[in-house]
Structure 1
Amino acid sequence: MISSILMLTADGVPSAEDVSREVVFLSDTLSLLRDSGQITNDAFLEAGVIQGGLNVLSSMISNDIGESEVDQQMLSLVSKAEGLQSKHPNLDSMIEIHR
């Protein structure tokens, strides 16, 4: 999940379309990983919080919310993704394998 966020924000504020595409990718990939038993339901649900945060980010960008608020949302997502990474260290690489 951290790779997704860092990729999206590497060049500043991403487009709403880019964020939405990433949300779909994460949703599909996380479902696949959970259904195949590669991740626990807990990891799936915790990752869903970040996925939901990305949906919020996409809406904020679409609605031309100020850049400072978008930056705050992105920083919050990075922090949550780092926490998820420390709790589920293999999750990010498992997601990225499906890219």
Structure 2
Amino acid sequence: MNDPESTPLSPEPVALACADGQRLQGHFFAARGEAAAAPVLISPATGVRQQFYWRFADWLAAQGHPTLVFDYRGIGLSLDGRLADSRARLVDWGRLDQAAAL
């Protein structure tokens, strides 16, 4: 599930702004159905791109859960330039990136 256009739901692209000015890319899966359920934030595993979770996010949305999934700085759609040139740090993922997603 690497192609955003191949998911059945066609999630909405979103940009997230971190406190340090870094921009992250994510996708929002709007809840479907009549049952309103708690929102879900999927924080990818270390180095895993958000698209890996799209089928799960789509399933959650089908169960009524509005779901957001994103790429951490330096990963996938949130990578600016070459990975070798990235200044992304794991501490920033937890301190800044997750806070922006919340």
TM-score between the two structures when normalised by the length of structure 2: 0.38
Q: Which has the larger radius of gyration?
A: 2
Higher relative contact order (CA 8 A, sep 6+): 1
Structure ranking higher in strand proportion: 2
